[in-house]
Amino acid sequence: MYCSAMFNVAFRIVTDKTLAEEIMQDSFLKAFTKLDSYSGKVTFGAWLKKIVINTSINELKKANQFQFESLNDTNESVDINENDIVSWNELKAEQILKTMQSLKSNYKIILTLFFIEGFDLEEISSILNISNENCRTTMSRAKESLRKKLNDNGK
């Protein structure tokens, strides 16, 4: 019942089929061993998804593929040129997802959690253990990076 959905969650984060399968198995094992901590406040599927997301992010951290920039390290502003904005209606979801996978891992993860998994920014900052401000800034930069890549691919 949950296998394919949880595999897809893991795969969208780690983008490796074998690793996503391992994460899914580890997550089911964690859920089974921690079943007594399931409070029932959220659906079982939502609880399991959170385990899959955390396990996926931990795997990326182990491989040093997951880092958020310190807000103090960057002072860049995001400029959006109206002529460069892609008409989102013209793009297919598949193209957007493929382009998302080519982004830096922190951008890919934050966009996946927001647009695909449906978490709000407060939930994402909690999942990723970053400040709300850092989450908003990273989301803004991730969206801009995605726009630029989509515009470049469209030319």
- Considering the domain 3-62 in this protein, what is its CATH number? 1.10.1740.10
Tokens of 106: 């922190």
User: Is the model more confident about 1 or about 130?
Assistant: 130
CA gap 22, 10 in Å, rounded: 9
Can you give the pLDDT at residue 90? 53
User: Would you say the CATH fold of 82-154 matches that of 3-62?
Assistant: no
All structural domains of the chain with their residue ranges? 3-62, 82-154
Which of 9, 101, 17 shows the shortest CA–CA distance to 57? 9
- Quick check: 33 pLDDT over 70? yes
Can you give the pLDDT at residue 111? 93
Residues in Cβ contact with 30 at an 8 Å cutoff, skipping those fewer than 6 apart: 51, 55
Can you give the pLDDT at residue 60? 83
Can you give the pLDDT at residue 150? 87
Which of 142, 22, 147, 17 shows the shortest CA–CA distance to 83? 147
Task: Tell me the pLDDT band of 83, cut-offs 50, 70 and 90.
Answer: very low
Can you give the pLDDT at residue 98? 86
Average pLDDT over residues 120-133: 90
- Quick check: 30 pLDDT over 90? yes
- The one-letter code for the residue type at 4 is S
Task: Tell me the pLDDT band of 84, cut-offs 50, 70 and 90.
Answer: very low
Q: What is the pTM of this model?
A: 0.64
Can you give the pLDDT at residue 132? 92
87-91, 114-118, 148-152, range with the lowest pLDDT: 87-91
2-11, 55-64, 121-130, 133-142, range with the lowest pLDDT: 55-64
- Considering the domain 82-154 in this protein, what is its CATH number? 1.10.10.10
